[in-house]
């Protein structure tokens, strides 16, 4: 299985969004072969405005692969939470894709930067695990733990402890997030937490630039690579035997706990 993980597009008519970078990244994504789906982990818009949602849908429709999308905190601004289902479907869901159960969750709340899941959305995780697929993947916008190289810590999920407890208790092997505009991966026990950087927002951090992740899963391994859109270079962030959970560090921006 191959998954392309995109985050933080930030469509906007002002200075927050770089359309030329989106088009370059789009070309790279569409040239990827044998992609099962693209996961977009929120912040498709900047202010949740109707014009931004229209722009975001126009851009996302140009992706040649199937897309699975959850909202981010920017998408919930200015009544954007009413527009998200209209443009991109239900914000929290459980999908079965081949041997994978994918749980997508809306971690954002109207007009707040902080994330929150709560007991109702925690139930989605347990439902996904109970489907009995060989692999469960959970995806949402906000980060569960502090992300290095992303500035002063803020906006973490308010119920991160309870969320982590559920993920670790069920040994969910892969959790996909965005929000901090920095690609990052960390292992906690038997769970790998992975953040995608920003795809096309002008608010990049230091030399991280614009990126997206490629996740490749076979019967024994999970590997995650980062694609730099500007340079078109691909580097391996982390790979693991998903059953024995032996991780090999491939990037300095990774910590094993």
Per residue in 87-106, pLDDT (tens digit) is 999 999 998 988 899 999 99
Confidence (pLDDT) at 198: 97
The arrangement of strands across the sheet holding 135-139 comes to 93-97, 100-104, 135-139, 174-177, 191-195, 184-188, 254-256
Identify each DSSP E strand in the chain by its residue range: 2-6, 37-41, 67-70, 93-97, 100-104, 135-139, 174-177, 184-188, 191-195, 211-217, 221-228, 234-241, 246-249, 254-256
CA 208, CA 35: separation in Å to the nearest integer?
A: 24
- 33-37, 182-186, 251-255: least confident range: 251-255
Q: What confidence category does residue 218 fall into, taking pLDDT thresholds of 50, 70 and 90?
A: confident
> Which is more confidently placed, 167 or 207?
167
Work out the percent of the chain whose per-residue pLDDT is above 90.
68
* Domains of the chain and any CATH numbers: 2-256 (3.60.21.10)
Distance CA 224, CA 214 (A): 6
**Cα–Cα distance, 208 to 213 (Å, whole number):** 13
Q: What is the pLDDT of residues 105-115, one digit of tens each?
A: 999 989 888 88
Q: Quick one: pLDDT band at residue 27, thresholds 50, 70, 90? A: very high
Predicted local distance difference test score (pLDDT) of residue 242:
53
pLDDT tens-place string over residues 28-65: 999 999 999 999 999 999 999 999 999 999 999 999 99
0.95 surpassed by pTM: no
The Cα–Cα gap between 206 and 214 comes to: 22
- 241: Cα separation from own chain's centroid: 21
């Amino acid at each position: 299985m191959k998954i392309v993980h995109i985050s933080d597009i930030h469509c906007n008519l002002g200075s927050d969004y770089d359309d030329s970078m989106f088009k370059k990244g789009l070309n790279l994504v569409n040239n990827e072969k044998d992609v099962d789906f693209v996961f977009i982990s929120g912040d498709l818009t900047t202010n949740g405005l109707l014009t931004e949602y229209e722009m975001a849908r126009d851009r996302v429709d140009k992706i040649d692969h199937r897309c699975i999308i959850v909202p981010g905190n920017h998408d919930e601004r200015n009544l954007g939470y009413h527009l998200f289902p209209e443009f991109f479907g239900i914000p929290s869901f459980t999908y079965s894709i081949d041997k994978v159960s994918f749980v997508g969750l809306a971690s954002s709340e109207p007009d707040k930067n902080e994330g929150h899941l709560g007991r109702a959305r925690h139930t989605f995780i347990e439902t996904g695990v109970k489907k009995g697929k060989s692999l469960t993947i959970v995806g949402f916008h906000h980060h569960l733990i502090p992300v290095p190289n992303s500035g002063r810590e803020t906006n973490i999920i308010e119920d991160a402890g309870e969320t982590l407890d559920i993920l670790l208790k069920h040994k969910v092997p892969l959790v996909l997030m965005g929000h901090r505009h920095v690609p990052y991966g960390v292992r906690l026990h038997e769970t790998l937490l992975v953040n995608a950087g920003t795809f096309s927002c002008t608010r990049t951090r230091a030399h991280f630039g614009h990126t997206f992740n490629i996740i490749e899963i076979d019967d024994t391994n999970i590997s995650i690579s980062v694609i730099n859109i500007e340079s078109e270079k691909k580097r391996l962030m982390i790979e693991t035997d998903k059953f024995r959970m032996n991780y090999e560090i491939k990037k300095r921006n990774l910590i094993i706990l």
